[in-house]
Structure 1
């Protein structure tokens, strides 16, 4: 089923003259629960992985022997989905609640050391033929595969993600691995993605305001400050909450959700330079992995096909992925050489 982004509530280029030269495109992936095939782009679907190639493993030292079973996590989600679809007012039955308590229990894996190879989770695979804004891979490779460790204990702080990306030539894979290795337990259920088919849609996008030329950024900030002051004055005069005005950051520039290409959002931190560690070239956004497909405000990015569905039949979190407390993982690639190591940031 096609997913169509509604027209923006305002003509942003008319509202802010000079913005048009910064226009770009991004491809919203619109992942939705389904049964993807190995030959298709997907989130958490079967990967085109050669039977004779070692599966990605995490060998960084951290605890990996206590957590929840992936199958239990997915079963608990099915129970909740069925309960809310059946009766949005009451949710799970008492019997289902007891089962959910059991499924949420942590388990211990005996005899596993902190450095034993731990299978990484296949998060997504993207064929360039399906995704208009997916950047080229190195040496004509056409398939991007994304993995991460199911534990959140990496890096200097001991609380960071471990993300791995691999590019391959899809036509070179002749025999596919049917049953990839899986971790017995995971440290965080938000890293266990639900299988989703994709509905790619290319849309217009504009840079994060803080990365625009100073004069243009100041005009955007000034206009929105003026709207906020007017709303406060209206509230003081009438006592009624004014309607939310479309905001550049949340309604007019960068769409939420999983997407390829376009501009990174820096809504949690100030914009940071993302230069290639190999050649110092400024990097460009490759992929955004998001916790939510739309925010809880105006919902102006909800696809046309889903706007009128009952709330219990449409979900802003179809992949069930949770990326940090803020909700976005931005992965960057080097435009000078796609084979150079990727970088990423959490927003």
Structure 2
């Protein structure tokens, strides 16, 4: 497993943090898994999420072992070392999920920022990593993901988007999305690549 991202609660406050945790870590296997274990996404890296306490982390950084690659080195699941700059922002849901007047305003902004064609829309498809917000729907129409334990609607917890800065390429320049149960984060996660 390779460390992909580590985020401190102070840099990304929100309702997604479990009680007692102030560090979020996302790790993944740097290889494509075509038949991954449930509930991982097909044709993506297998992901592990860890919620930690900063007080329990070792102060000295360690160098993870080199990954055993089954793909070409430039395939994209081996992130380049970098620092994330936390930036609070408001992203928007897919325009079809908005009420009429606002839908047209967002659609206009999408067109002004590169349009939906080619997926370069920076209004409803934020680049980089993000907590919360809205999932992108550049490949399909929006659909609801339900918790397998309680049936509650799952919400977007975290996104790792393809990004030239980090060197990550997910699928065909897409996003790895992690959804969590809106009723209880302990119900687990649902992963997909979009």
Q: Which runs of 4+ in 1 moved over 6 A?
A: none
Cα distance per residue 1:271-325 (max 9 Å; x no partner): 1211112222111111111113xxxxxxxxxxxxxxxxxxxxxxxx111111001
* Structure with greater helix percent: 1
CA offset digits 1:163-195 (Å, max 9, x no partner): 111112222345767343443434253111011
Within-5 A mapping of 1:182-331:
182-188=66-72, 189-213=75-99, 215=100, 220=104, 245-246=112-113, 250-292=121-163, 317-331=164-178
Would the aligned equivalents of 1:133 and 1:202 in 2 still touch at CA under 8 Å?
A: no
Closer/same/farther in 2, CA of residues 169 and 246 from structure 1, 3 Å limit: closer
What value does the CA root-mean-square deviation take over the aligned residues?
A: 3.0
| Closer, same or farther: CA 216–342 of 1 in aligned 2, 3 Å | farther
Matched residues in 2 for 1:193 and 1:344: separation?
19
Which residue in 2 is equivalent to 1:132? 13
TM-score by length of 2: 0.77
Q: Counterpart of 1:322 in 2: which secondary structure?
A: coil
Q: Secondary structure at the match of 2:48?
A: strand
What SS does the corresponding residue of 1:339 show, helix, strand or coil?
helix
2:31, 2:124 → 1: CA distance?
33
Matched, 1:145 2:25: yes
TM-score with structure 1 length normalisation?
Answer: 0.46
CA 1:173–1:199 in structure 2 vs 1: closer, same or farther (change >3 Å)?
A: closer
CA contact (8 A) 2:2 2:28 kept: yes
Q: Which has the larger radius of gyration?
A: 1
Residues 252, 318 of structure 1: alpha-carbon distance in 2 compared, 3 angstrom cutoff: closer
For 2:146 and 2:30, how far apart are their aligned partners in 1?
27
Gaps of 5+ in 2: none
Aligned positions, number = 181
Residue 122 (structure 1) shift = 1.3
1 CA distance for matches of 2:59 and 2:83?
22
Query: d(CA) in 1 for partners of 2:30 and 2:60?
Result: 23
Instruction: Structure 1 unaligned segments of length 5 or more: list them.
Output: 1-119, 225-243, 293-316
Deviations 1:6-57 (A, max 9, x none): xxxxxxxxxxxxxxxxxxxxxxxxxxxxxxxxxxxxxxxxxxxxxxxxxxxx
